[in-house]
Structure 1
Amino acid sequence: MDSRKYMSDAIRTESRDFDAMNTRLLDDGVKRLLHAGIGISTEAGEFLDALKKHIFYGKELDRVNLAEELGDLFWYMAIVGDELGIKFEDVMERNITKLKARYGEKFSEEKADKRDLESERKILEGQAFN
């Protein structure tokens, strides 16, 4: 499945019943982003919880659960992508371009500490999200 089809299929299962939300001052787009942001945080916490159980409590590493949480993260990211009108491929490409500018071909702690955020921002702004 390519990411465009995934995004299209994923957002079909999204509830947009914002009447229940006590956020009358926010437009629906911001509500979608807020819902997705909270969901991403929640699912990331569930991913970490599975790792915690393995590392600190000696439970078997539940790779099936980790993959399921990753899928849930994708679902919420599909909402963000749809709301911002961007494709996963564009985000992935832009991210790699930024990382290459930051590190070249290989990570180093020195380059991580001495990031040129202004140049990175120009890279991100120079590639339109369309």
Structure 2
Amino acid sequence: MSIFIDTGIFVAFANKSDNHNKRAVELIDQIRKGGYGMPYTSDYVLDETITTSLVRSRSVEVAVRAGTLILGSKEKGIPAIPRLVRVDEKVIQEAWNMFRSSRHPKLSFTDHTILSQSRAIAGGSIMSFDKDFDGLLDRVF
């Protein structure tokens, strides 16, 4: 069993004033205890998480907290939560093909890479606050 973690979970966890902060903290605690199996996320989600955290909070500290949740910190003894997977050429091409023919105009290109990787790595399971994944992936929120 495994699950792919989307941007919003990390953003909400790092920002205490986010509407989903409490639930994100609960979900991350469950992951730390082994719930949901092996957690994954991607380098695209890492980029989106740090950028979104910075823009929404206007705080480098919040953005660093979000990034550290994904990357960990050897200096501080903080383990990375998910296994970080790279968006490679195969995923890019698959996501591009889905994006061009998409019937889901609310999904970004990054969301299409998440669709591809979640299906391949996590059996179609995603932890996300994004309702646009409903009907496409098995969403935990």
TM-score (ref. length: structure 2): 0.27
TM-score (ref. length: structure 1): 0.29
Query: Which structure shows the bigger proportion of residues in strand conformation?
Result: 2
Query: Which structure shows the bigger proportion of residues in helix conformation?
Result: 1
